[in-house]
A and B are shown apart, each in its own frame.
Chain A
């Protein structure tokens, strides 16, 4: 029953995005923002439906597995300097802070986290639409947003994870970069670097866009606000644990993460795939495909006239993600790399190929969602 519902929903998704093919009446104009909203609603409805039916540990727990629970703990207790929760120093402060703020209004922490991440997701989709509209046409922009919402790991956008907030803030930062409003760039960049470590990489595209633009008054000083988020995080480390770089030792000892060359990382992942373990097909294979796929995609899009600042942001981002020695959440991290959603409509102009890509992505989203709510190792 569920499978039939899902298949109908996926077909409806393709139907909504490309009404011209099935209707054969190109003169009918659809309200494109309405299409965007329906894509958001349908993709989330599928997720909730699956979570209701297939969840092993209950409906509500399926939203806050792995790191989600840690964020809820942080919202309740803040950073602690001893006992349980001391290892959560490695998480960035903005998302738990927002949960805490919203929880004064709504009764439960889980509900407020759900509100924060889903509101951010909607704004992320809208800003991706607006950002793509600056370079491409309306259909392409809708397609880019649909790709974000149907990415194989897009269920993380609705759960208790910082990714949707991070995507929203980076997209806002890039949008105002293109509009040359440097104060807003600084503010959103600062917030982005407070929500994820990769946020401070926004300084590179900001400086590039600044030197490329005509409106140059004081912009560079506002751009320098972006790394301030990382410095604030270091100050938190100092005040809570008494060491500026305390998070590094916790990453090494408790989370088994330390900086390493990403070639070694790829080598290790291929080794896992050769052993045919269950972990390989849930974690390692998508990570490997995403590494090579995104690299080639970005290069091809850059050659076909995609804005270069997106690529300047992406390449250090990919390097940073794959520099972790024990990478398990690569799929989730790569989901937050928005330029790949703009790169695809830049390269693919054939409608049939577009539908195929979107359908394949939706199918994978379905598979990974079921695996996720069933309690498999997708983190």
Chain B
């Protein structure tokens, strides 16, 4: 009970202070945007995170007489033990052996210092806030339907101490800013994306499709790629992904094969192909962007919400099976 109150109080305080910061920045005219939409996106992603937590909490305590609150603390730590050991004992060698890209652990380490060493809490908050901001930028880029983004079946990994929601945020921001023709900013975002997640390499293709004459943008992706080989010596390894789930994603994308080839869809297809060919590039949250864009294109309302419903069920199923 105490842990739940402590976690809820800390996260509420962090979220509210973040919202106040957004208010202040908009009043001082430093941040120009729809502050109300941004705040509600962050609170929405926090709500989905709470539902995921409650689901896993119920799953752990079904059939037991005494409610085990110790488990509540370790639920999020169970999946991502490499990241936990990484943030607790941060070093270059630990980073290399864990197989994660360096930006997210470094951010968690810096922010966690400010939180008196609460690295797990900081990581979860960083992920949730990135998820909320991706919802915000998705709403800006593709109309007001950003709420579909955290219902992607793998979305629960975006609320845990894993770097996927941060890389999703960078991807959504790249697609938003490249539409507004802010190429220099996109260049920086590309570097940040590649430093967060290796799969971001495929962003080159849709970027060149949209901004055809800006060939120099490709260097934005090549710089971290060179860094990757210098730093790790080779590419990090991981396990084979869930094939059934990939089939579903390919099916959703295949519906729009005939209509119009969009840059986002090409990006999604590249991600899936890479996931099939290279085991270390298994499907992750980055696929949420093309799949959700594809969902928005469905004309039939029943089909659309049936897909969303199936997605929610899959989300719950995958969360429990991952535990």
Residue B229 interfacial (CB < 8 Å): no
How close is A268's CB to chain B, nearest CB, in angstroms?
7
Chain A binder among B13-21, B141-149, B253-261: B13-21
Closest chain-A Cβ to B107's Cβ sits at a distance in Å of 18
Instruction: Report if A270-B5 is in contact (Cβ < 8 Å); known contacts: A211-B28, A261-B117, A262-B13.
Output: yes
Task: Find the residue from B9, B117, B121 having the highest chain A CB count within 10 A.
Answer: B9
Main secondary structure of the interface of B (DSSP, over half): helix
Q: Which one of A9-17, A136-144, A312-320, A346-354 is at the B interface?
A: A312-320
Closest to A292 in B: B9
Residues of B within 8 A of A267 (CB): 2-3, 5-6
Question: Please, which residue of chain A has its CB at the minimum distance from the CB of B13?
Answer: A295
- Residue A299, interface by CB 8 Å: yes
Given A260-B116, A263-B118, answer yes or no on A312-B24 (Cβ-Cβ < 8 Å).
yes
A268 vs B6: C-alpha distance when bound (angstroms): 8
CB of B121 within 8 A of CB of A299, answer no
Report if A308 contacts B (CB, 8 A): yes
Minimum distance in angstroms from A261 CB to a CB of chain B: 4
Q: Which of B7, B20, B115 contacts A302 (CB 8 A)?
A: B20
Shortest beta-carbon distance from B220 to chain A in Å: 34
* Minimal beta-carbon separation of A13 from chain B (angstroms): 32
Question: Is there an interface contact between A271 and B7, defined as CB atoms closer than 8 Å?
Answer: no
Please tell me if the beta carbons of B10 and A261 are within 8 angstroms of each other in the complex.
yes
- Of B2, B16, B20, B23, the residue contacting A274 (CB under 8 A) is B2
State A278–B117 Cα separation when bound (angstroms).
Answer: 32
Question: Nearest Cβ distance between residue B43 and chain A, in whole angstroms?
Answer: 11
Closest to A309 in B: B24
How far, in Å, is B4 (CB) from chain A's closest CB? Answer: 8
Interface size class, chain B: 20 to 34
State the interface size on chain A (CB cutoff 8 A). 32
Whether, in the assembled complex, B226 has its beta carbon less than 8 Å from a beta carbon of chain A, the answer is no
CB distance from A24 to the nearest CB of B (A): 41
B190 CB to nearest chain A CB (Å):
33
Q: Assess whether B116 is in contact with A261, with CB atoms less than 8 Å apart.
A: yes
Within 8 A of B (CB), among A284-308: 288, 291-292, 295-296, 298-299, 302, 308
A267 to B12, CA, bound (A): 14
Collect the chain A residues with CB atoms within 8 Å of residue B5's CB.
266-267, 270, 288
Chain A residues close to B by CB (< 8 Å): 208, 211-212, 259-271, 274, 288, 291-292, 295-296, 298-299, 302, 308, 311-312, 315, 318-319, 323
Q: Which residues of B contact A (CB under 8 A)?
A: 1-3, 5-7, 9-10, 12-13, 16-17, 19-20, 23-24, 27-28, 115-118, 121
18 contacts between A and B (CB under 8 A): A208-B28, A211-B28, A260-B116, A261-B10, A261-B116, A261-B117, A263-B118, A264-B118, A266-B2, A269-B2, A270-B2, A270-B5, A288-B5, A292-B9, A292-B12, A299-B19, A302-B20, A308-B23
Closest 5 CB pairs of A and B: A267-B6, A263-B10, A270-B2, A263-B6, A261-B116
